[in-house]
Amino acid sequence: MSHDDFAFEPVKGLPERPPEHEKILWQGRPDTWALANEAYKLRWINLYFALIVLWRASVGAIDAGLSGAIAFGLPYAILWGLGAAVVLLLALVQARTTVYTITTARVAMRIGAALTVTLNLPFRQIANADLSLGRRGTGSIALETLGETKFSYLILWPHCRPGHVRVTKPALRCIPDAAGVARVLADAAETLVSQPVVTRQTPAQAGDLVAAE
């Protein structure tokens, strides 16, 4: 029988049910393989171990031929496989526990494997969104917020723009069809921001306004 650790959520990826006028436009999560390569640097790990295995195998081959190459290189090849497996497992857990949501009013990010955190970023608090594309259309959308809102790099990682530690920028990281998601985000934000903000005044406030005129 399947079990959902987040079955308590009224709506997948959101801490509470959105208002009736707010609609979910898109939901997604990081691509595991892309996250392993970009956030956990799997390619660099593979390159490092490949060089180590090649070096040790060549030393063994000089001393004892093929049998020496196997004897010297095999232990490091095993470490290589174990290291890559751990990295892929970490990326898989991060991807499976993450839900990115774009609605008609905000961007929501449910992130964290051990400590789950949900960020709500209304469009009116987002100053800019930067799209970076990778291979096969996978990419990341970094969000720059207005005001004095600050985020912890350690809590957000890997769901933040790499290298921006002093001013941490939340990011929809390693998502498939990132260009299409960016269009959804841009259209939704433009639609909301272009709408006038209507505030309700009490009769007393209205009277004060008329008197001032």
pTM of the entire structure?
0.81
- Per-residue confidence band for 211, with pLDDT thresholds at 50, 70 and 90: very low
**How much is the pLDDT for 66?**
87
Higher pLDDT, residue 194 or 13: 13
Look at residue 193 in the predicted model and tell me its pLDDT: 65
pLDDT value of residue 204:
52
Phi, psi of 191 (to 5 degrees): -65, -45
Beta bridge partners of 107: 102, 121
Residue of 147, 182, 183, 153 whose CA lies nearest to 170: 153
Q: What is the pLDDT of residue 20?
A: 86
For 15-70, what is the HEC assignment?
Answer: CCCCCCCCCEEEEECCCHHHHHHHCCCHHHHHHHHHHHHHHHHHHHHHHHHHHHHH
Separation of alpha carbons 191 and 28, rounded Å = 21
Q: For residue 55, what pLDDT is reported?
A: 95
